[in-house]
Structure 1
Amino acid sequence: MTVPQSELQQIVSALQKSGLTVESVEDGALIQHGESRVALFAEADHQGGVIVRLHLDLDLYVEEDSLPDILMGMNLLNQGLDYGTLNLDPVDTDEEGEDSGVAFAVLGRSVLWLPDLGVAELDRLREHLRRFEAEVTDAMERTLHGSKGLSA
C-alpha cells in the first residue's frame, strides 16, 4: 500500500523529472531557474484542485522615504505583467533605533490554480513558472538599467 504524496511532493517530483533543479524546504520548494531562485508553495484548495504560490526575491530593498516614487513605478510595471505582480514586503531589521525607518523588499509574486495534478496541468505550471520568472526579471532589468529607471 502506497501512501499518497502531498500536492507539494507531487509537484516537486514532476518538476525534477522535467529537468529543473528543485530543492525541498520546510513548507515549500526552491526552484533554481537561471540565476533566479523561485520559492514555490502548494496547498489543496478546499473547493478542489491545488493552489500554487510563487515568490521571487529580487534582492531589491526600498527605504520608507522612497515609497511614493517606488509605488508609482511598481504600479506602472504591474500593468504590463501578465504572469505575476511586484509587491513590497516589510523587512525585519535588528536595529531598534528611533531613526531607523522601515525597509521593504521588492518581490515578484504569482498564484496559479490547478484543477488537478495531471500531466497537462503540470506542463501548464512549468510554463507559468518559466514565464513568471522571465517576465518579472526582464521588467526589473529594463527598469533598473533603462534611462527611466526606478530610483530607490
Structure 2
Amino acid sequence: MTVPQTELQRIVASLQQSGLTVEPVEDGALIRSGETRVALFAEAEPQGGVIVRLHLDLELFVEEDSLPDILMGMNLLNQGLDYGALNLDPVETEDEEEDDDAPVTFAVLGRSVLWLQDLGPLELDRLREHLRRFEAEVTEAVERTLHGSRGMSA
C-alpha cells in the first residue's frame, strides 16, 4: 500500500521533474533560480482544488519613517504587476523587547496566490508558468525602480 502524497509533495515532485531546483522546507518548499529564492506553500481548498501561495524575499528593508513615500511607490508598482504584488512585513528583531520606542523595520516581499483546479499536467504547467512570470515580473519591477532615475529610497 502506498501512502498518498500531499498536494505540496506532488507539486514539489512535478517542479523537480521539470528541472527546477526545489528543496522541501518545514511546511513549504524553496525554489531556487540563480540568486532568487521563492517560497511556495500549498493547501487543499475545501471547495476543491489547491491554493498555492508564493513568497519572494527581495532583501529590501524599509524604516518606519520612510513608509509614506514607500507605500506610494509600492502602490504605483503594484498597479503594473499582473502575477503578484509587493507587500510589507514587519521585521522582528531581538532588541524589540528592550526598546519599545525603536523604529519598526519592514521587509519588502513579493507575494502571489494561485488557485489550481487540480494537480493534473495542465494545471501544473500553469503553475510553472505563473511561478516563472511572478519571479521575473516582481524582480524586474523592483530592479527597474531601484536602478532608475527616480527609484525608491529605503
Q: TM-score, normalised by structure 1?
A: 0.98
1:79 lines up with 2:79 in the alignment: yes
Q: Is residue 149 of structure 1 aligned with residue 151 of structure 2?
A: yes
- Identify the residue that residue 15 of structure 2 maps to in structure 1: 15
Deviations 1:52-111 (A, max 9, x none): 000000000000000000000000000000000000000001123244110100000000
Q: 1:33-68: CA deviations, max 9, x gaps?
A: 222000000000000000000000000000000000
Mapped to 2, the partners of 1:113 and 1:12 lie a distance apart of: 16
Partner AA of 2:52 in structure 1: V
1:122 aligns with 2:124: yes
Identity %: 81
Q: Which runs of 5+ in 2 are unaligned?
A: none
AA of the residue aligned to 2:58 = L
**What secondary structure does 1:61 align onto?**
strand
SS of residue in 2 equivalent to 1:4? coil
Moved beyond 6 Å, runs of 4+: none
- 3-state DSSP of counterpart to 2:83: coil
Q: CA–CA distance in 2 between the matches of 1:102 and 1:46?
A: 37
Residue 92 of structure 2 is matched in structure 1 by: 92
* Gaps in structure 1 of 5+ consecutive residues: none
Q: Distance in 2 between matches of 1:138 and 1:76?
A: 14
Cα distance between partner residues in 2 of 1:113 and 1:3: 25
In the superposition, the TM-score normalised over structure 2's length comes to: 0.97
Q: Which residue type is aligned with residue 89 of structure 1?
A: D
Distance 1:43 1:91 in 2: 25
3-state SS of paired residue (2:122): helix
